[in-house]
Structure 1
Amino acid sequence: MGSSSGRRVGRPRAAQRPDSGLEPRAELLAAAAELFTTRGYAATTTRVVAERAGMRQASMYHYVSGKEELLAQLLESTVTPSLVCARELLADDTRPAEGRLWELCRTDVELLCAGPHNLGGLYLLPEVRTERFAGFHAVRAELKDGYRQLIAATAAGGALAKSGLDLRTDLVFGLIEGVILVHRSDPERPVSEFARATADAALRIAGA
């Protein structure tokens, strides 16, 4: 009998998770996001991730190499949309840099705090400092450089020496990522409120 859900067949799956309609890899990422942010990365085994996704541990390795790959993909998923936004804003020189910087800050905060799980909190894991997560760090560094370019393009930023521009960029970027902790301690506050307030504060730090 054919499957109407579009799932691959032939590998046994445990009945731990309702049928979400996701492809197996996406289902594993969803399960990992939930478990890493609620139980903790170190405390979560690949077996538990597989069971939460509704499959056996052996089947999981048909889709991902292990727990580190899942974490790397989740981390990159928190940065890539913001980087796309930064590239678009950098290319739009018809608008003042101050407005584009504010928009990037607001959008970045909303993306960091989006979704049912606080994936930004995974940035704080000690494991993330290792070479295995070089891809995440490269994307994050490009996003940070986007902030730097927008700050430099503002009237105040254009008057800064390189050391001053680097400091302002570090402070603004640190403020944006620091919202992760604030949001974790106050999850009921509307994300849009966090986003607007953070963008306002970022422009003051940038001197714009």
Structure 2
Amino acid sequence: MSSLSRVRPGRPRLIPNIGVGTPREQVLEAAARLFTSKGFAATSTREIAEAVGIRQASLYYHFAGKDEILATLLATTVRPTQMVVDEIVTLVPPERVETALCLLALVDIDTLARVPHNVGVLYQLPDVVSAANLDYASFRQAHSELTEAYADLGAQLATRHGVTAPPRALGSMLIQQVEGVITLRADGNDVDSDRAIEIAGGCLRLCGCDQAEATQAIRRATALQDQLRLGASAVTPCPTPVR
């Protein structure tokens, strides 16, 4: 056996591995729980490592530090939705822009409702909002691109209904409507399918849809959302989210 084929044993854990997922995933889960309960600034990498049952030095094998961990967690709140924007636009005919907007909102709501420990609350931390850290730049870029997707679809729909609103402002209002999920979860409320439909319907009304048009768009979007889920599950299994 060559030296290249030998596997070097890692550092032994402080406690046996009783967590679910890879060590990296366990670090993220523990960090999400600690950041959202104690605060980002008040949580140390040592505490995160101890929560997982590994040495602090072992944590740095997976992440450069707290900033990278937080950036990775924040990405989970936008990347799943951002990754299907093009698929939504392709899947829905241009004349059904109200359905495309509703589908985008429903997918985004589902992402925010499932993300472990409601890490979306970390968006508004002062040390995240004010930071110029490059780790957060990729999250901000992804969030900006998602806002632009809302703005594009929303502006098309608003123009059809004679609603005058700058696209950028409209995009911000739409994504803020959806991100109300974060506040709902923080207040202890479940975001079930009925609540998701209510929020998505609010997005449509912001763009001038009446109740009849919104009802039809929600019906079509809900069916298409099931298609997106089936397509995703055919590619990779969906792990059970940690609450």
Q: Give the TM-score, by structure 1 length.
A: 0.86
Residue equivalent to 2:197: 196
Letter in 1 for 2:123: Y
Is the aligned partner of 1:140 residue 2:143? yes
Aligned residue runs from structure 1 range 106-125, under 5 A: 106-125=106-125
Letter in 1 for 2:74: L
Alignment RMSD: 2.1
Q: Give 1:101 shift.
A: 0.5
Aligned residue runs from structure 1 range 177-192, under 5 A: 177-187=179-189, 189-192=190-193
Residue equivalent to 1:173: 175
Residue equivalent to 1:30: 29
3-state SS in 2 of match to 1:166: helix
Whether contact under 8 Å (1:157, 1:165) holds in the other structure is no
Whole-Å separation in 1 of the counterparts to 2:98 and 2:104? 10
Structure 2, gaps ≥5 residues long: 1-7, 210-243
Is the aligned partner of 1:149 residue 2:113? no
Whether contact under 8 Å (2:77, 2:115) holds in the other structure is no
Letter in 1 for 2:207: A
Whether contact under 8 Å (1:16, 1:53) holds in the other structure is no
Q: Give 1:197 shift.
A: 0.9
Q: Give the TM-score, by structure 2 length.
A: 0.74
Whole-Å separation in 2 of the counterparts to 1:49 and 1:16? 16
Residues 127 and 85 (structure 1), Cα distance of their counterparts in 2 relative to 1, 3 Å cut: same
Whole-Å separation in 2 of the counterparts to 1:203 and 1:127? 34
Q: Give 1:116 shift.
A: 4.1
Letter in 2 for 1:152: A
Whole-Å separation in 2 of the counterparts to 1:79 and 1:10? 33
3-state SS in 2 of match to 1:11: coil
Q: CA offsets, 1:38-89, max 9 Å, x none?
A: 2221221100101111200011111111111000000011100011222211
Give percent identity, aligned residues only. 36
Structure 1, gaps ≥5 residues long: 1-7
Q: Give 1:109 shift.
A: 1.1
3-state SS in 1 of match to 2:78: helix
Whether contact under 8 Å (1:113, 1:120) holds in the other structure is no
Q: Give 1:17 shift.
A: 5.9
